[in-house]
Each structure stands twice: as structure tokens, then as C-alpha cells.
Chain A
Amino acid sequence: MLENFSFRTIVEYLPLFGQGLVTTVWLSALSFVGALVVGIVLCAMNLQRGWLFRAPAKAYIDAVRATPLLAQLYFLYFGLPRLGFVLPELVVGILALSLNSGAYIAEIIRAGILSIPRGQVEASVASGMTYVQRMRLVVLPQAFKVTIPPLLGQAIVLVKDSALLSLISVAELTRAGQLLASDRFMPAEGFVTIAAFYLLLYYCLKGLAVLSSRWLGTAGART
């Protein structure tokens, strides 16, 4: 039983957990920005008429969605040095999360853009707007509204996925728990504490998703 569950050790290790939490937060934030860039580019390619841009974007999205993130992470971790890029684990991790999440975000944005009624686009064409004006003034502002809640859902997934980076020894939150577990042979203390920290992050983002869907008057996020 857990009769000797040691809160004292947890307190002793709090600075380590704090560092891990901070790392998890900023590396997730950075990866999310990267994923947005990847997602927007993929989505733009996917919305083209010709197959030249569409086919590679579709193939990439399918490939990412049909394989596990862990395999993708190892692909980059063991594969990049092969191509002559010797990068720190942290950079490889952020790259993997961005490239993975980007594929999902591309689909979220696409669904948002496709949810705009055709009549709106036709009306803006009839008003003589250019493609850029149409996108900027008519399509994107409306798509934005539909896109925010699922994007926050994807952010939650990304934060949880970032735990996998501990497996290539990035010093984030899960790694901090592993260190406590292995240094002191206290797995309960280590893993219960990080689970609590992840829950904290989860409820923050979930609260944000609920609030945003209320403000925007859209359906809630699916996480």
C-alpha cells in the first residue's frame, strides 16, 4: 500500500517539477505556433484546384494521421542525424510536435473555411473583390470563429503529447517525474505529482475552450 507516500519528497523536488512544468508550457506553446504555420501552409496547398499542390499536402496529412507520434518522433530523432542535421533533443521534439499537430490543424482550418456558405463567396466575387480581399474580409473572419474551439482542443492534445518527449530525454514535466521515480525509487510520488500538473494545464485550456465557444457562440470544443 501507499502508507509511506512522502509529501516531503514531493516538496523537496518541487523546483525540479516547476522547471519541468515551465519547459512543458513553453515548448508546447512554441510547437503550437509551429503547428499553426505548418497547418496554414498545408491547408492553403490543400485548397488549391490543381493536384500539384493538393496531392503532396493530402499525402502528408494522411501519412501523419495514420502513424503514431512516437514513431514520428523516433523517425526525426534517429533520422535527422543521418541527413547531417545534429540537433538538440528539445529542437527535435518541437519539430516533431509541430509537424504532427500541423496535419491536424490543417484539417481543422479547412473544415472552418469550408463551413462558410458558398453564397458568401459568390457574393464577394460579384462585388468585384480580389481573392485576397475575399479571404481577408469575408471568409477568414467567419472561419476564425468556427476554428478557435477545435484549435484549443488540439492545443490540449499537443500539451499531453509533449509528454512523449521525455522518451528522448527532454527535461520536461514527465521527465521530472521519471527522475524522482528512479532517483528515490518513488514512482507513486513522481507520477501522481506530474499527473496533477497535467490536469492543471488541462483544466486551464479546457476552461479557455469553454469560454471562447461561449464568446463566439459556437459549439463547444471536442477534446
Chain B
Amino acid sequence: MIWQQFLSLAGSYPLALRGLGMTVVLSLISLVAGTLLGFGLGILRTGGNRLLSGVIGAWVDLIRGTPFLVQIFLIFFILPEFGIELDAFTAGIIALTNLAACFICEIVAAGIRSVPTGQVEAALASGLSRWQRMRQVVLPQAMRIVLPPLVGQYVLLIKDSSVVSAIGLTDLTRVGWLVVQRVPNGLLVFFLVGVGYFIVCYPLIMLARRLERRMGAAHGEVQL
């Protein structure tokens, strides 16, 4: 009985691989785009322009205060009413990128704020331009604070990508959902789905922990 189910499951490995591939592609694209956008927003948020900072803050709060599932539904069902036709893949990428950008924006802003003001003043006194200041003085120091939670955020992003299965994308979670209709063994099917996510996420979790320990130590030295 269980052996037959195993065989049947083994038969659906191309579907499983496609699902895993979709999960990885979705996560990777939105991870890169979200990081770039998040850094940009984070720098603008701490840039001194009150209005801009307020608008970004309000948007970030809006995104952090609503469930990701609701955000996906909003993007997928409402943008077409504005004449923007979306397929599920694009809608998923937009939703995930936006989510990642908002969380990363706050992480980056916290990192930038953690850099002592004396450093910025010294850079000003040395006649560095705004861009040079950011690139050569502030960001390298902020990275110590930013890096561990950034990696942690990537794990959350990969996990959140499972929610896009709700608009019909065949990612890893959706594959589990499809397979369980044919092979009615939820324990086995979703155990395997879990293993798939674990293989992708766990190395990142370990990396985040390691960075935290290392950066924590480095931070301690600076404080001395």
C-alpha cells in the first residue's frame, strides 16, 4: 500500500522539480529586485527629506500591517481594473518584491542610523560628496548591522513565496496540493514538500546565525 504510494509519488518527480524550480526562480528574482529596491528606499528613508521619509514609512507600515495573502489578491485582482493585465507569475513577482523591499528598507534604515554621527561629520569635513559619503563611509559600516537580518529576511521571502500558490502558480506548495489529490497521503506528500523547502532554507538560516555571531563579535570590538 505505502510502497505503491511511494512509486506513484516517484512518478510525479518532474512536477515536483518544476515546482521547486518555480519556488527558486520566484524567490531569486524578487530577492535580487527587493534587495536593490530596499537599499534604495532605506537610503532615501534616512536621507533627511521629511516628506519622502514619511511617505516611505507610511507605505512600509501599510505593507507590514496587512497579510501577504491579501496583498497578492489586491495586486492580482485590482491592477487589471486599472488596465494593467497581469499573469499570475508577474503578480507574484511584484507582490514578493514589494514585500521584500519594505522589510529590507527598514533593516537598511536601522543599519544606517546605527553609524555614529561623528563618522558622517568627519566625512563631511573631509569634503566627500553625498554619494561618496554613503558608499565609502556609511554603508560599509552599516553592513555589519544589516547583513544578519538581511539573510533572515531572505528565508522569510522564500517561505512567503508559498503563498503565491493561492493565485494558481505551480510552485512547490501547489505541487503538493495537486499531488495530494491523486495520492491521498497528506502526511507523506507534505512531508516531502517540507523537505524541499528545508533544503533551500536551512543553509540560509545557518548562514544568518553564523553572521549574527561574527558580526556581533565585530560590533563588540568597535564598542570597546
Q: Judging by beta carbons under 8 Å apart, are A78 and B162 in contact?
A: no
Q: Kindly identify which residue among A68, A81, A161, A192 contacts B67, using a CB–CB cutoff of 8 Å.
A: A161
Q: Judging by beta carbons under 8 Å apart, are B187 and A177 in contact?
A: no
- CA separation between A70 and B74, bound complex, in Å? 19
Nearest neighbor of B82 in chain A, beta-carbon distance: A1
Q: Judging by beta carbons under 8 Å apart, are B77 and A191 in contact?
A: yes
Residues of A within 8 A of B193 (CB): 67, 71, 74-75
Q: Judging by beta carbons under 8 Å apart, are B190 and A82 in contact?
A: no
Interface centre among A67, A69, A177, A191 (most CB of B within 10 A): A67
Q: Kindly identify which residue among A62, A71, A161 contacts B205, using a CB–CB cutoff of 8 Å.
A: A62
- CA separation between A27 and B151, bound complex, in Å? 31
Where chain A touches its partner, the secondary structure class is helix
Number of A-B contacts (CB under 8 A): 137
Known contacts being A161-B67, A187-B77, A191-B73, is A75 close to B187, with CB within 8 Å?
yes
Closest CB in chain B relative to A58 CB, distance in Å: 12
- CA separation between A69 and B165, bound complex, in Å? 13
Closest CB in chain A relative to B201 CB, distance in Å: 4
Q: Judging by beta carbons under 8 Å apart, are B162 and A68 in contact?
A: yes
Residues of B within 8 A of A181 (CB): 73, 77
Chain A interface size band reads 35 or more
- CA separation between A110 and B143, bound complex, in Å? 27
The contact string, 1 if C-beta is below 8 Å from chain A, for chain B 195-217, is 00110011001000000000000
A121 at the interface (CB under 8 A from B): no
B78 at the interface (CB under 8 A from A): yes
Closest CB in chain B relative to A170 CB, distance in Å: 13
Q: Considering the complex, which residues of chain B in the window 158-176 have a beta carbon less than 8 Å from any beta carbon of chain A?
A: 158-163, 165-166, 172-173, 176
Closest CB in chain B relative to A177 CB, distance in Å: 7
Of the A-B pairs whose beta carbons lie under 8 Å apart in the complex, a sample of 18, sorted by A's number, is A1-B81, A63-B194, A65-B155, A65-B201, A65-B205, A67-B159, A68-B163, A71-B197, A72-B190, A74-B190, A83-B187, A167-B166, A174-B70, A181-B73, A188-B78, A198-B65, A202-B61, A203-B65
Q: A71-B194, A78-B180 are in contact. List 5 more A-B contacts (CB 8 A).
A: A67-B193, A69-B162, A70-B163, A187-B73, A199-B65
B-side residues, CB < 8 A to A, are: 61-62, 64-71, 73-74, 77-78, 81-83, 155, 158-163, 165-166, 172-173, 176-177, 180, 184-187, 189-191, 193-194, 197-198, 201-202, 205
